[in-house]
Chain A
Amino acid sequence: MFNHLRPALTLVVAMTVLTGLAYPLAINGIAQAVLPDKANGSLIERDGAVVGSALIGQAFTSDRYFWPRPSATGPDPYNAAASSGSNLGTTSAKLKDRVVADVARLTVTGIAQPVPADAVTTSGSGLDPDISPASAAAQVARVARARGLDPSAVTSLVTRQTENPDFGVIGEARVNVLELNLALDALKM
């Protein structure tokens, strides 16, 4: 056993330098030089200020904006410093009570039942940037009313912002909520 200690020690140290420092730092150097936007989190700026990341969802509660999915992060929803899912099982009473409340909340805003599943469930990360096209369509009337816009103009905006599967196969149809709301703000101006 003891004759194995020298190779064990030296290889752990050498591999730490190689795979733990040289490797990530080299990737870091290349990424920062070649793809700085993506390597730094795909941030979106408006008027010179960072308003979020294209990949990370953020909370919207105003009637003037499309709403994202519910989020299970704490202490606030869409806490991008502490990702978390609800981890509630299908038979959880907590889950059922929460969904009952969310369905009621959406019904008040004029969304007909059955509501799209993603609109009342929390995502795995709590940071899902997307909603389904069905969930976006269900919110058009509310947003158009709050902004005094023609619903058909909002619908066509949603259609433009909908990302469809590549080649019709790879990926799911989805709408990025932050980008949709940015386009909505731009529409008014």
Chain B
Amino acid sequence: MTFIGWLQISLLFLAVLLVIKPLGLYMARVFSGERTFLSPVLGRVERDLYRVSGINPEKEQSWLGYTLAMLAFSLVGFLALYAMLRLQAYLPLNPQGFPGMPSDLAFNTAVSFITNTNWQNYGGETTLSHFSQMAGLTVQNFLSAATGIALAVAVTRALARSKVATLGNFWVDMTRATLYVLLPISIVVALVFVAMGLPQTLHASVTATTLEGANQVISLGPVASQEAIKQLGTNGGGFFNVNAAHPFENPTAWSNYLNIFAMLSISASLVYTFGQMVGNRRQGWALISAMAFLLIAGVAVTYWAEAQGNTILTAIGVDPALGNMEGKEVRFGQAMTALYAAVTTGLSDGGVNGMHGSFTGLGGLVPMFLIQLGEVLPGGVGSGLYGMLVFALLSVFVAGLMVGRTPEFLGKKIEGREMKFAMLAVLILPLVILGFTAVSAMLPFAVASIGTAGPHGLSEILYAYTSAAGNNGSAFGGLSGNTMWYNTTLGIAMLLGRFAYVVPVMAIAGSLAAKVKSPASAGTFPTDGPLFVGLLIGIILILGGLQFLPALVLGPIVEHFAMLAGQTF
């Protein structure tokens, strides 16, 4: 670790800190239905969309209506994307003449993009036409992100309002998230990306004659436009197989900054939006502090572990000065790769700029553990916020048990019904992750997919289901996931991780919205101070640790000690 490395990391967090308030306030205006500076341009488009879709923007929905609308929208999005991937050979803009995707891979990919996961069992440049990338994947990059934001806004309203039966209108929230937040920022970011060197063309490739006389076919495509929304929507599905490690997705240190900044800024600002909408900005900052603490701790551990290098290679004559360079790019180095790895997993982005599977045992443990903590640091756009609110409810409940008072959060009494739904939501992750990992580790044909024997093999399987259930999308790439077994089970894990989590959360929202919002009294446990932040961090770590530590010991921690002992597999 170097001072310069930490300076590089600090600059990014500083930049994000500066944008949280203005962007958070802007989004609060958008989701309160107020006019913004973009209304003169977009208001007309918005009204036209409502008219052709038969939506009455004034009509609000109950929690159930809101949830059903979200499910219907996701289902239609899934079917459209699945059909497009299967039929890609017959659709336009397919200069390389790629065939349609097989059914299991198309299922996995379509689920992956509607759930905001963007797990890549396909290699972008070798399987997908430009049409599929643009009209298929890019669209779901927008819509799955807008859906997440809408859900978070609905949960926010539940805590902001007193004794109401409705949470807003899903169609309006989703449309406004797309039109006023994601699309305009994407346009700006995409153009800056082009200026940084990301290609943006409809040509498929160019052939160069290298200095030594060989032919080099270089894949191209509309990369910049997809990269922008990939990060802003915390999607993470790359245009290319190796994602943002590819020099065309991420050519310089500056583009690397913009990539990380783009993925972090909306998600972090939404927490401020939450504080603004519930009328307690300090609450927003309290949640942001807890997220930042855990995220920066994650960066530090990964950076430290990777900067040590791989001791097995040091022993055979490799200089450890540059750290563990297998799977990393020279232009990013250890600090910016560690930062990317922690942010992409603390969020549910899942793009990578270095191969997590080649990280050291401890360096690779961190990204996996950050996903297992529930993708709340600050998590996927929207999904991170509502995930964090579930943890906040659990924290006040635990605090209430300790002091013997009825727990309250933002003036709402937290009772048995909310706790039951919160536990349903929280337990879905270990059930899916540990369940599928255990089954896969016992099935010979599933074990055959692993790339490195020994404890790393278990880590590859564990990481895959962790990533799928957490809707992250990054991978320990040694696992050959493009098989019937993994395509299907990872697809199911993604569906459960998204929908089996959010439906109970929406039920909590419905129940909270109906309650009276009472003013704070002297006996109220303050939820916007350092004591609460500490308790919240503790609850997140204890829940995540209790659930996943045994599995992590068998995978990355054993790998760490094997490396120190010089043992290979």
Pair from one complex: yes
- Please provide the chain B residues from 130 to 145 with a CB less than 8 Å away from any CB of chain A in the complex: 134-136, 138-139, 142-143
Q: A78-106 CB contact bits vs B (8 Å, 1 = yes)?
A: 11111111111111111110011001000
Check A82/B125 contact, CB under 8 A, given A125-B245, A168-B4: yes
- Tell me if B125 and A171 are in contact (CB < 8 A): no
- Report yes or no: A99 in contact with B68, Cβ–Cβ below 8 A: no
Q: A1-B68, A83-B242 are in contact. Are A11 and B49 (CB under 8 A)?
A: yes
Known: A92-B568, A114-B318. A27 touches B187 (CB 8 A): yes
Contact flag A129-B247 (CB < 8 Å), given A88-B326, A114-B318, A169-B7 = yes
What residues of A have a CB within 8 angstroms of the CB of B327 in the complex? 85-88, 121-124
**Interface flag for A153 (CB, 8 Å):** no
Contact in complex: A172, B358 (CB < 8 Å): no
Question: Does residue A38 face the partner (Cβ distance < 8 Å to B)?
Answer: yes
Given the complex of chains A and B, what is the CA–CA distance between A122 and B324 in angstroms?
11
**Which residues of chain A are within 8 angstroms of B53 by Cβ–Cβ distance?**
6-7, 10-11, 14
Chain B 338-354 against A: per-residue CB contact (8 Å), 1 yes, 0 no? 00000000000000111
Residue from the list B76, B326, B476, B559 in contact with A95, Cβ < 8 A = B326
A-B contact count (CB 8 A): 388
Q: How far is the CA of A50 from the CA of B205 in the complex (A)?
A: 12
Which among B53, B318, B455 has the highest number of chain A CB atoms within 10 Å? B318
Is B325's CB under 8 angstroms from A92's CB? Answer: no
Asked if B521 is at the interface of the complex by the 8 Å CB criterion, the answer is: no
Q: Which residues of A contact B326 (CB under 8 A)?
A: 86, 88, 90, 95, 121-122
What's the Cα separation between A95 and B459 when bound, in Å? 17
Cα distance, A129 to B310, chains bound together (Å): 23
Task: Contacts A51-B209, A56-B248, A59-B212 given; indicate if A99 touches B134 (C-beta within 8 A).
Answer: no
Measured CB to CB, the closest approach of chain A to B242, in angstroms, equals: 4
A49 at the interface (CB under 8 A from B): yes
Instruction: Give, as a whole number of angstroms, the nearest-CB distance from B431 to chain A.
Output: 26
Select B225's contact among A28, A93, A114, A130, beta carbons within 8 Å: A28
Q: How distant is A56 from chain B, measured CB to nearest CB, in Å?
A: 6
| Chain B min CB distance to A40 (Å) | 5
CA–CA, A170 and B4, complex, Å: 9
B219-249 vs A, Cβ < 8 Å mask (1 yes, 0 no):
1101011100100000000001110011110
- Given A49-B209, A55-B247 in contact, is the A114-B72 Cβ separation under 8 Å? no
Residue of B224, B318, B360, B477 touching A31 (CB-CB under 8 A) = B224
From A42, A178, A185, residue with most partner B Cβ within 10 Å: A42
Tell me whether A90 and B216 are in contact (CB under 8 A): no
Closest to A130 in B: B330
Q: Which of B351-376 contact A (CB under 8 A)?
A: 352-355, 357-361, 364
Q: In whole angstroms, how far apart are the Cα atoms of A95 and B325 in the complex?
A: 12
Q: Which residues of A contact B354 (CB under 8 A)?
A: 124
Q: Which residue of A lies closest to B476 (CB)?
A: A87
CB under 8 Å from chain A, chain B span 171-230: 171, 174-175, 178, 183, 186-187, 190-191, 194-203, 205-212, 214, 216-220, 222, 224-226, 229
Interface pair A170/B8, CB less than 8 Å apart = yes
Asked if A14 and B211 sit within 8 Å, CB to CB, the answer is no
A83 to B383, CA, bound (A): 31
Residues of B within 8 A of A107 (CB): 317
A73: shortest Cβ distance to chain B, in Å?
A: 9
Once the chains bind, are A90 and B200 in contact (CB under 8 Å)? Answer: no
Instruction: Identify 18 new A-B residue pairs, CB closer than 8 A, beyond the known A15-B143, A19-B138, A118-B325.
Output: A5-B76, A7-B53, A52-B216, A53-B218, A56-B216, A85-B355, A87-B358, A90-B359, A91-B562, A91-B567, A92-B456, A92-B568, A99-B318, A114-B319, A128-B330, A134-B319, A170-B253, A174-B331
13 interchain pairs, CB-CB under 8 A: A10-B53, A16-B80, A23-B187, A53-B247, A55-B197, A58-B211, A90-B361, A100-B316, A117-B309, A124-B245, A125-B247, A172-B253, A181-B211
